[in-house]
Amino acid sequence: MTLSVWRYAHLALALFSFIFLALASVTGVILAVDAVRERASPYRADNIENISLTETLTVLRKAYPEITEISVDHNQHIVLQGVDANGDDVEAYINPRTGALSGKPEKKSDFIQWITALHRSLFLHEAGRFFIGLNAFLLMLISVSGIALIIQRQEGIRRFFSRIVKDDFAQYYHVVTGRLALIPIFIIALSGTYLSLVRFNLLPQPKINHEVETVASDSPSEKNIADFAVFSNTMLSEVRKIEFPFSDDPDEYYVLKLKDREMVIDQFTGNVLSNVQYPFTALLETLSLDLHTGRTSIVWAIVLAIASLNILFFIYSGFSMTVRRIATRITNKHKPHESEFILLVGSENGSTLRFANAIHQQLLANKRTSFLAELNNYAVFPKAKHLVVFTSTHGLGHAPSNANKLVSLLSKNTQTQSVYTSVVGFGSHAYPDFCGYARTVDEVLARQPWAEPLVTLHTVDDKSPLQFTQWVKAWNEKTGLSLTTAPALYNGVPEGLRKMHVLEKTMVASNDETFLLTLKPDRKTVFTSGDLLAIYPDNNGKERLYSISKSKGNIQLAVKLHPSGSGSRYLYDLNPGAVISARIVHNKGFHFPQPAPAVALIANGTGIAPFLGMVEQNKKKTEVHLYCGFRRRTELIQRYEGFADEYMQKQHLKTFNIAFSQEENHCYVMDLIKRDAKFFVNLLAVGGVVMICGSLAMLQDVEATLDQICIKRFGAGIATYKSSGQVVADCY
């Protein structure tokens, strides 16, 4: 069966039954905890598998002249009903070895009785019992479809317990806990269904008939109860109940009820007069009750409690995944046969669709005829000029479920005009076959006679808006469009927002608009220098990103106050003590290299921010050289100089090189690089790393300068160093 059939079945069943399931789970947890409490009862008799019925009956007969019955419940409580030596009625827990009374049987508390009634019938009598029974059955189907989904996701039953990549909280834990909890949940559901079938008489009812023939013995020899072979061969642990004869009438017998059979025993001879095995259905009913309630095992009762809690988590995580999947619905203004831009999406969990939709909306806003659809809706598009495929990869390098028919559809539907094609792959480096399906699509598309590849395959790791904008830029260049290249537009609902307290803010000076801001997150937050801080100044969902440094455990950022910049104005208006909502965006590609023989850090303006933290954090004393360019020497720059002196003394920093473009000597950071050209080529030759942070214009110039000096020295530019990660940049 296809993934979507299992998924729709799983979802439809869950939607239909979630309220009942939630109620049954909450009450189930309470009842399971109560079962654990009962199993730990102080009245429990120990080692009853080592006491024979004869031993117990001999002791009890002496202590209690009249006994009506003795029962052994699932908690190993031995309950005696009879009359004691003083002629008083007794109904009590007893010690089977000494006959001593140990306590009085207690009724369940009102609360537990209330919870039990709610669990069994929702206080709706037979109708409620029916709904609960039906839900137990649905839960069984949900568990089966859930197990099928996991097998499909893991690509086979043998990989059922293989590693799962942590992609998204709800999805990850839905699957991880599902693998462990689905089996006990299936057992809860199956036993619950069985008990409901019994309750509604839908299964054959076990009937026990004893046909006792009084055998006239020639000389009936009356025996002492201690000599009854049946009692000495039966251990107390096998007994559920023994009913005693009312009188000395020979028609009165012992009725011995064991776990699997019932016997009628002559009270004088101890002969077994009738021995009836319980039917299989009765044994199944007891087993279902034991499994459903956990009443016979403390460990199983705990497993049931955890599994019931898990059902509640499944309800939450399952719905959160579904809401995300349907949050991005496709809406089209134009028909496929009249559209110039055809955007086709392969997306399992909706995030790729979000990116494609952002492009679609911009095309529509630019008055272009754009049509957005799932890849499996590929057809002939007579007016198409551009076909763009956005696809994620699932399974192990496979197509998402709404894209798995593309290859066969391509062979059946040939476009009649030539069409520019472009493929954007969404994936994660956590999986071995990164963007595997996008590569397949790219290859297959390129082979189509009508296809004219416009932009080479771009891949996006972990839904990175930043990487997506690289493709947008390239596509803009080729198409002449000007779609936005600001990552903020392609961000989803921000996750991981934290409250951050403003600790310090410097003031801008008349000759410099830069200020430093220090923030402290309200709870433990993992970040390091080179990561980004995302803030949301206008409350319109748009995100502004700032490079940060980690300074004494706090977040520090250097910001230039732009007259019309809402982000920088928002930050500048904050005063110490203020609290903002922001989040850390991990920027793995721009962390301090570990290990590296030496590192050159190149910045201009506020780009120095992450480097301050990297120097401070350089406790291993890696050889670090800092190159920075500013307009003129200001108070803030003097602060940087003080910082550099301090850390050069601590040997965190080897050299500090500073260029001022508007001071007398008009020096730029590129001039410093040219001056130290020999150092830079040696650095790259020995595997050292160059990190660049600041303006895009500076980046271009620095890269051009490095290119020149490398070509001069090695005959080749810095392209190979860039792809090997020896030259990295974070510019804006």
Ligand X SMILES: Cc1cc2nc3c(=O)[nH]c(=O)nc-3n(C[C@H](O)[C@H](O)[C@H](O)COP(=O)(O)O)c2cc1C
Mapped onto helix, strand or coil, the DSSP state of residue 149 is helix
Q: Among residues 178 and 436, whose Cβ is nearest to ligand X?
A: 436
Between 150 and 516, CB nearer to ligand X: 150
Q: How far separated are the first and last CA of the chain, in Å rounded?
A: 48
In the bound state with ligand X, the residue whose beta carbon lies nearer, of 465 and 694, is 465
Q: How far is the CB of 495 from ligand X (least distance, A)?
A: 14
CB 233 to ligand X: min, Å? 58
Contact 100, 94 (CB under 8 A): yes
Cα–Cα dist 684/681, whole Å: 5
Least distance from C-beta 437 to ligand X, angstroms?
Answer: 8
Residue 346 CB, nearest distance to ligand X (Å)?
Answer: 7
Q: Considering beta carbons, is residue 153 or 505 the nearer one to ligand X?
A: 153
**What's the CA gap between 662 and 633, in Å, rounded?**
9
CA 229 to chain centre: 60
Instruction: Give which of 304, 306, 300, 291 is closest to 193, Cα–Cα.
Output: 291
What does the alpha-carbon distance between residue 273 and residue 266 come to, in Å, rounded to a whole number? Answer: 7
The residue number with the shortest CB distance to ligand X is: 427
Q: Which is nearer to ligand X, 397 or 494 (CB)?
A: 397
> Cα–Cα distance between 532 and 555 in angstroms, integer?
10
Q: Which is nearer to ligand X, 351 or 634 (CB)?
A: 351
Contacts with ligand X by CB under 6 A lie at 153, 167, 347-352, 392-397, 400, 426-428, 431, 433-436, 463
User: In angstroms, what is the minimal distance from the CB of 634 to ligand X?
Assistant: 44
Q: Is the peptide bond before 595 cis (omega within 30 degrees of 0)?
A: yes
CA distance 661 to 672: 12
Tokens of 3: 């993934």
Map 538-571 to HEC letters. CCCCCCEEEECEEECCEEEEEEECCCCCHHHHHH
CB 198, min distance to ligand X, A? 40
CB of 158 or CB of 620, closer to ligand X: 158
CA distance 197 to 204: 10
C-beta closer to ligand X: residue 42 or 156? 156
Q: Are 15 and 21 in contact (CB under 8 A)?
A: no
φ, ψ dihedrals at 378, nearest 5°: -60, 135
Closest approach of Cβ 467 to ligand X, in Å? 11
Rounded to a whole number of angstroms, the minimum distance from the CB of residue 528 to ligand X is 23
Which CB, 77 or 394, lies closer to ligand X?
394
Structure tokens at 562: 């732009």
CB of 355 to ligand X, least distance (A): 8
The set of residues, in sequence order, having a beta carbon less than 8 Å from that of 375 and lying 6+ positions away, is: 344, 345, 346, 389, 391, 399, 402, 403, 405, 406, 441
Residues 6 or more apart in contact with residue 642 via CB below 8 angstroms: none
